[in-house]
Amino acid sequence: MDVFLLLLVMMIVGAVIGGFTNSLAIKMLFRPYKAVYIGKWKVPFTPGLIPKRREELARQLGLMVVNHLLTADSLKTKFLTSEKEQALTRWLQRESSKLFNMEDTVQDVFERFDLTSPVPYIEETMDQWIEQQYDQLKDQYMFLTIRETLPEKWLDRLDGKVETVTDYILEKGIDYFESDEGKARVQTMIDDFLKTRGTLGSMVNMIMGNTSLGDKVQPEIIKFLKHDGTHDILEQVLRTEWEKIKDWQWDRAFSIITDRDLIVRLQRILKERINLNEWMQRPLGSAIQPLEDRVVNHLIPKASEKLKELLIEKLEGILSKMKLQEIVREQVDSFEVSRLEELVLGISRREFKMITYLGALLGGLIGIVQGIFVLLTGL
């Protein structure tokens, strides 16, 4: 019985010592957090290992992250692959569909992001662009003829418009002389003509009596305008003049109207055609709907591909400029030691307990061996 009690006591003492020393060793990794002094004498093993080596630990963690975890090669292998590119493309396409179905107006979207309406800026830019293009074209074509500068198709189309212009002039002329205003105008012109002819004019009035000369002349004018020969004569005159105009130099054409009048008219026409204010009041999805196919099926896949290529090319430089090593070092170095202890124990608490239990087990075995050795030597 004494032998068993001796072995039991030796085992318990060994286990307590083994477990305690291992537990103490684990705690001494972190504690004490600061150096302990007795007078001017610094107590050995204070502060704990990690507080004492915190700067070196932070530096080594930074190096480990840069050299082994977040390396350019590992990021390329993990993220910059065809599968990730396709996943990004699909995600962007899904998100873009929300944009093309948005019911909020363009104006509402700008206001949501505290952006002012771009209409004044765009219109001002358009006005400046028109002025610049006008000045450039004027300088370029000033001493060239219309025939030399206009495309052949344009000239052929304008040639075909001569007959249309002829029909338009005659049609408007007939409408005018058939109206009461035209009839009154004819009568006024005849009266003014006869007044300047003195006796001849009086004789004509006497001969016509109460009959208005305008009533006789007006139908003849209309008949003249409707005659095919009149149409042919006017068309020939217009074609002759148009051929002459083709040989005008542009400086002569520009001299007909002032530059400012032409520029202002062009600016007004462009603004009316585009109508940006109306566009700003349209739902965003409707306003950009014509771009959907091009954006979803062409632009987004191309953008994803180019982004991947750019990242592959620039990744090392980006990581270098990010200075991850310094970020990790500064972050770890700024941690309180208690925070570091909490992080490490949060990850490895179970393993540390197993180390303590292993120390107790080994201590107990050593106690048993020591007890047997004492018994043997005592005999």
For residue 172, give its domain range. 145-248
In a domain, 242, yes or no: yes
- Measured CA to CA, the distance from residue 45 to residue 48 in angstroms comes to 6
Query: pLDDT digits over 233-242, tens only?
Result: 999 999 999 9
- The count of residues in the chain is 379
Query: pLDDT digits over 46-63, tens only?
Result: 777 777 777 777 777 777
Contacts of 83 (CB under 8 A, 6+ apart): none
pLDDT band at 210 (very low <50, low <70, confident <90, very high): very low
Query: pLDDT digits over 8-40, tens only?
Result: 888 888 888 888 888 888 777 777 777 777 777
Task: For 334-354, give the DSSP string.
Answer: HS-HHHHHHHHHHHHHHHHHH
Q: Which residue has the higher pLDDT, 98 or 253?
A: 98
In a domain, 239, yes or no: yes
In a domain, 68, yes or no: no
Task: For 355-376, give the DSSP string.
Answer: HHHHHHHHHHHHHHHHHHHHHH
> Count of domains in the chain?
1
pTM: 0.49
Q: Can you name the residues that pair with 249 across neighbouring β-strands? A: 145
In a domain, 212, yes or no: yes
In a domain, 282, yes or no: no
In a domain, 119, yes or no: no
In percent, how much of the chain has pLDDT > 90?
6
In a domain, 305, yes or no: no
Q: Say which range, 49-53, 125-129, 293-297, 361-365, has the weakest mean pLDDT.
A: 49-53
In a domain, 314, yes or no: no
Q: Is the pLDDT score of 317 beyond 50? A: yes
